[in-house]
Structure 1
Amino acid sequence: MTRDPKDLLLRLFRAAVDSADPGKTVARHLPERPSGRVVVVGAGKSAAAMARAVEAEWPDVTGVVVTRYGHAVPTRSIEVIEASHPVPDQAGANAAQRILAAVRGLGPDDLVLALISGGGSALMTAPRPGLTLDDKMQVNRLLLASGPPIGVMNRVRRRLSAVKGGRLAIAAAPARVVTLAISDVPGDDPLAIASGPTVHDPDATADLSDIVRMLGPALPEAARRLLMMPPDPLPPFTADYRLISTPLIALEAAARMARAEGITPLILGDAIEGEASTAGQVMAGIARSAALHGLPVKGPAVLLSGGETTVTLGRAKPGKGGRNTEFLLALAIALDGCPGIHALAGDTDGIDGSEDAAGAVISPDTLARARAEGLEPRAVLEAHDSYSLFDRIGDLVKTGPTLTNVNDFRAVLIR
């Protein structure tokens, strides 16, 4: 086992991220080249990197994809547009229209290759008629502040979109549609990845009044009407959907590296949700049991998990932070300096929330070092200012955009 726990945790994180590198995965999942045209479209934090990987195999294709600002890479013939995430902007709205235009007018011998990854919901935004971009931006802000599960967020986004919930595939008919997707959602539900632009939406006519009540009076009136009045059922369609990277694959890659280091990995799950601070408290209990009693695993061991927790903000203006740093701070507080336990949590896209770090690491002396800087960890946690604490003590993990996204990665090391 390595003498430096932080170094080991960082290498486990890199192994997880590398397993979802589009340059290593896209080629294995491409369909047979059709006799007609190939049009590549896509949306998500990995869309540009996926497009570049397609061009490496099929150099003469055309198309357009949209990705987050700072996540573009050079391509030859596929246009890359950058837009805002997590709150949509006009660039994302323009990109959606360009993507819809690119798939129209194709024939049955043509192929639409859709490259879909996390973040696509916000990046490819096409409001339904009667709804403005400002309306959609306000809805996204309300969803982010309310902290509902990602599945609830995507039900709203699909209902308000002219491209999500299968509408992109419908626009491409009668061309064949093949989707290559990188999952960033618990359970790998294709409908939830970027709100399923090429996937049939079984909730297209469902009653969403409970979500309307949750979002409250700040919900724009146009959005309220569309959420309360289900549209007509969408026409049926068929599409070939291929998952090329998932959170579980990333956790398994980290587990293989841990075994090579002589450490027993225990994958607790790839779909852990709930409040980030609560998840940190629960994880502390499991880690303490492992350290003190050898249950559920005897050290040296590492507890691995994925999924997407949430942070529910109160009325007070929050500080700087993300769900991974909030999870870690709650974990450190609950562990209270328990010896021999170190941890890392980070978003595999390299950006935890809206800050410039993927996440952070903790050690048994995290709380002591924070207090030495004049910080009170519990007060920082209540203010949702975890980023600032880890920045102050030098324990942020900064990778820059990784150009992939298989959701959050958490590793708790028991020495």
Structure 2
Amino acid sequence: MNCLRKHLSAIKGGRLATAAWPASLLTLAISDVAGDDPEVIASGPTVGDPSSCADALAVLDRYAIRTSAELRQRLQDGELETPKPGDPRLARSEFRIIASPALALQAAAAKAVAAGVTPLILGDAIEGEAREVARALAGIATSCARHGTPARPPCVLLSGGETTVSVRGQGRGGRNSELMLAMAIALQGQPQIHALAGDTDGIDGSEDNAGAMIGPHTLQRAAALGLDARAALDDNDAWGFFSALGDLLISGPTLTNVNDLHAILVR
């Protein structure tokens, strides 16, 4: 997606910087991508692009994306090539990250310390299927609760990144809500563990929530309402599940996106 964006945009892939040449540029970036790669943040409007028109054509072919004959020809001719790293027109362009997933996690850790809770940052680039990541995080939290490793309670496990949901059902929700639903199932009501996951921009998927929250009684409360957690997960209906419980995490749009934040409290 980024490769295509760079080659089809008038400003991405370094073109904003070359259009401003010979002016000096200072980019203040808010990172919403795992790893904080300047070439990926906003598709890199002020940094060189290592991808090529041939790469863009390969993406079109790999995913059988239909486009106009004119556009394909312009890519084949190299007419839409982007400025590359080392281009002299980029020499006066400086890049700084002022907000990122890592900085958000560090801020959350500072809040935990102030509350007398030991923070453990697991990483800012967690990726993978949301329900698989949920099981892994649940396993780490269980180890903390039972054995005091890798952190002794009271502790909070902090992580960030951007998981993925393979939509196979007809339900509603987003990756953070689905991660919490899968974690609730994995934990099976363990008494010491509470968790939340949310998108820092305030919107998880296509709904009005940032994510969701779970606790030791989540499954018990759901059963009392006639809700089947596993059926909801199979239908990708985490939003419906947590909406019925009143456990959606709703912040409203924050207007700042530094990816997702997961916090698991082990009491």
TM-score by shorter chain over 0.5: yes
Q: Which letter does structure 1 place at the counterpart of 2:102? A: L
Q: What is the 5 A alignment of 1:322-401?
A: 322-401=174-253
Q: Deviations over 1:189-216 (max 9, x none)?
A: 111111111111101345356644653x
8 Å CA contact retained: 1:266, 1:304: yes
Cα distance per residue 1:275-305 (max 9 Å; x no partner): 1111111111111111111111111100000
Q: Partner residue of 1:160?
A: 8
| Partner AA of 1:222 in structure 2 | S
- Supply the distance in 2 between the matched residues of 1:337 and 1:162 (Cα, whole angstroms): 52
1:156 deviates by 3.3
Equivalent position of 2:254 in the other structure: 402
Superposition RMSD in Å: 2.2
Q: State the shift of 1:383 in Å.
A: 1.4
Give the structure 1 partner of residue 78 of structure 2. Answer: 231
1:268 counterpart residue number? 122
Alignment counterpart, residue 106 of structure 2, candidates 252, 258, 262: 252
CA contact (8 A) 2:54 2:76 kept: no
SS of match in other structure, 1:289: helix
Pick from 46, 55, 68 the counterpart of residue 222 of structure 1: 68
Hey, what's the Cα distance between the residues in 2 that align with 1:413 and 1:297?
11
Provide the rounded CA distance (Å) in 1 between the counterparts of 2:223 and 2:241.
Answer: 10
Bigger RCO of structures 1 and 2 (CA < 8 A, at least 6 apart): 2
5+ residue gaps, structure 2: none
Aligned counterpart for 1:277 among listed residues 125, 131, 149: 131
Match in the other structure for 2:32? 184
> Counterparts of 1:340 and 1:413 in 2: how far apart (Å)?
8
TM-score (norm 2): 0.89
Structure 2 CA distance for aligned equivalents of residues 377 and 326 of structure 1: 11
CA deviation map 1:207-226 (0-9, x unaligned): 356644653x4x22339947
Give the alignment of 1:70-85 within 5 angstroms.
none
Q: Calculate the TM-score normalised by the size of structure 1.
A: 0.59
Counterparts in 2 of 1:296 and 1:241: CA distance versus 1, 3 Å: same
**Secondary structure in 1 aligned to 2:32?**
coil
State the one-letter code of the partner of 2:140.
I
Contact 2:129 2:164 in 1 (8 A): yes
Unpaired runs of 5+ residues, structure 1, are 1-152
- Aligned residue pairs total 259
Alpha-carbon distance, 1:379 to partner: 1.4
Measured against aligned partners, the alpha-carbon deviations of 1:155-191 in whole angstroms (never above 9, x if no partner) come to: 3322333321111222222222221111111111111
Distance 1:282 1:214 in 2: 32
Structure 1 CA distance for aligned equivalents of residues 256 and 138 of structure 2: 29
Query: Tell me, what secondary structure is at the counterpart of 1:327?
Result: helix
The amino acid that maps onto 1:221 is T
2:158 is aligned to 304
Q: Is the 8 A contact 1:322 1:387 kept in 2?
A: yes
Q: Cα gap change, 1:226/1:156 in structure 2, threshold over 3 Å: closer, same or farther?
A: farther
